[in-house]
Amino acid sequence: MKRLLYIPLILVWLLSCKKDSFDDLAPNAAFSGVTGVWHAIEIERSSLDNKSTWEPIAAAKSDSLIFRGDGVVLNVDGTPRCCAPATMIINGQLVDVKPQTALPNNAQCEKLNCVTCPTWEISLSDDQLIIGTCNAPRMKYVR
End-to-end CA distance of the chain: 70
| Length in residues, the chain | 143
DSSP character at residue 19: P
Taking the model in full, what pTM does it have? Answer: 0.74
| 109 pLDDT above the threshold of 60 | yes
pLDDT at residue 115 is higher than 60: yes
pLDDT tens track for 56-82:
998 888 889 999 999 999 999 899 998
